[in-house]
Amino acid sequence: HLFSLSYFRSLPPDLPYHQSLTLVSSTVSPQNNVGSCCIFLNSNSFSREAQLESEFIEKIIGDVSNKLQSVSSSHTTGLFGIDVRVNKVESLLNMESPDVLIVGIWGMDGIGKTTIAQAVCNKVRSRFEGIFFANFRQELKTGSMADLQRSFLSQLLGQEILNIGSFSFRDSFERERLRRKKVFIVLDDVDDFMPLEEWKDLLDGRHNSFGSGSKVLITSRDKQVLKNIVDETYEVEGLNYEESLKLFSSKALKNCNPTIDRRELIEKIVSHVQGNPLALIDLGSSLYGKSTVEWYSALNKQSIFL
C-alpha cells in the first residue's frame, strides 16, 4: 500500500484522528504486511508542514500496525496453550538477530504444528517486508513444484513471475531482489525429502538468499526431514491435562458446566486422547448436543473403551 501526502490532504481537515485511523485501517487487513507501507513526500523542499504531516502519517501507520497485531493475536483466542508454544518458537527464531535462521516444528498429526506456525506468522508479520506461507502437501496435490516456486517468488517480490526456469537462479534479477528483502517464510507440512531437494540451494545458502533478519519455519511429522536443514527444532508436545479439559469442554459443552454423570466420562476421554488438539476438537464437536447415552454409544463405536 502506498500512502502519499496528497491522499491525506484529501481527507476533511476537521476529521478526528481516530476516524483517520479507521479510514486507513480499512485499506489493509491482517493478511497484508503493514511493515512494507511506503510514504512518499511529494515535495522538493522538506518543509516544516511536510515534516509534521509525515510524523502524523507515521503515527497512523504505527497505530494501524498495532491494531492489526491485536487482530492477528485474536485469531488464537480459544486455542488453549497456544501462546506458550508460539513464544517458544519465536524465541528459537531469535527475532532481534540479523541472522537468517531456519526453525523446524516437529510433531505427530493433529498436534498443532500448522496452527502454531500460523500464529507465529500472524504475530511477527509486521516486522517483515515479505511473507510466504504454503502447505506443501496441499499445494503439490493440486499443482506442480514449478507453480509453488512461482508463487513463492511472486508473493515475496510483489510481482507476477511467468517463468522461473531453474529455481537456483543464482545470478538472476529476482535473486538479487530477494537478497535485499527481509522475509518471513513458512513451508508447512513438508513430510518428504524430495520436495525440499529443489529448495536445497536456496535454504542451504540462506544467508545469501534472503535479506538480513529473514526467518524460515518448516513444519513436518518427520524429524529426519528437518535434520540437515534447520538451525533449531521445536518438538510440539501435546496439551496438558487442564488444557485438554478446557479444549474438549469448549467443543462438547460450549463451556457449560458438565452434569455430574458426565464429569468422570469427560476425564476418561481427555486421558484417552493424550493431549492431541485435533482429536479433542473432532471428538468434542461430534458429541455436542447429544445425551449421555449417545456419548457412550458414539465412543464405543470409535473404539474408545471407558
User: pTM, whole model, 2 decimals?
Assistant: 0.70
Distance spanning both ends of the chain, measured CA to CA = 57
Q: Are 107 and 221 in contact (CB under 8 A)?
A: yes
* 82-235: CATH number: 3.40.50.300
Burial of 61 per CB tally in 10 Å (0-12, 13-18, 19+): buried
Would you list the domain boundaries of the chain?
Answer: 2-74, 82-235, 241-301
Tell me: pLDDT of 182 over 90. yes
Banded pLDDT at 52 (limits 50, 70, 90): low
Banded pLDDT at 303 (limits 50, 70, 90): low
Q: Are 129 and 158 in contact (CB under 8 A)?
A: no
What cell does 235 get? 518438538
Give residue-wise pLDDT tens across range 197-245.
888 888 888 888 899 999 999 999 999 999 889 999 999 999 999 999 9
Task: Identify the residue with better confidence: 31 or 50.
Answer: 50
**H or E stretch including 2?**
strand 2-4
